Amino acid sequence: MKQHLIAVCGLAAILLLGAGANSENSQPAPSLDFEKLGAMSRQDMSDALTAVMKSRGAMESEVVFTLRLSDSKQAKIAAVAIAGYFRLEAVIPDLVANIDFYDDQAHPPNVANTYTSMYTSYPAVDALWRIGGDRVVTALVAKLEETDDMQVRKLAGLDLMGILGSDVAKFVVQKEIDHQAEAKNSTVIVRLKAALPFLDEPK
């Protein structure tokens, strides 16, 4: 399964990416090789882009399958990274469900986590930040509404603050608190209020 996942990513890269950036001294490759695509016939271009979209769908399915069912920690780390770098929005619910998935190889033992290291120690936090956007924000707020786990609350708050900035993140959560107050949902209000301290800028 891991080999197939790598092959799918390779197909997308071959079709869309330039050939540069293979060594430390090379210039960064463009995100898309427009010249190569533009030189194709319109039908070949359509076929190439359709193949990429199909490979993206296959990639999403493989990533979701890995996050839900794989017992391999390394496979999950790879799946989360792919979801983030390719901004696979279909994987957002599974990334949020795995937000506290810890990569102990990315962070030295017996060293306190800092604001920056949290993104490497918890790969789903980094992947959600890379994807960003309204769907991630909505999913993170929903997670804050349902969780009583302090670590999950902290990580979800960290992501919200990283995506939106401290002030906007607080505004979004406070708006949801006000909405829940109208519904008289006291349990959710308590959970959301408990998340507010985690939306402060790191000192």
Per-position pLDDT tens, the chain of length 203 = 545 444 444 444 444 444 333 434 444 444 456 677 677 778 887 777 777 777 788 888 999 999 999 999 989 998 999 899 889 999 999 999 999 999 887 765 555 555 566 778 899 999 999 999 999 999 999 999 999 999 999 999 999 999 999 999 999 999 999 999 998 999 999 999 999 999 988 76
Residue 172, token pair as written in the block:
């979004």
Per-position b or e across 124-160, b if 16+ CB within 10 A of its CB: bbbbbbbbbeeebbebbbebbbebeeeebbbbbbbbb
Return the pLDDT at 196: 95
Return the pLDDT at 34: 66
Q: What is the pTM of this model?
A: 0.75
DSSP state of 27: P
Residue 97, token pair as written in the block:
């469900």
Residue 162 is which amino acid? G
Residue 133, token pair as written in the block:
């956007």
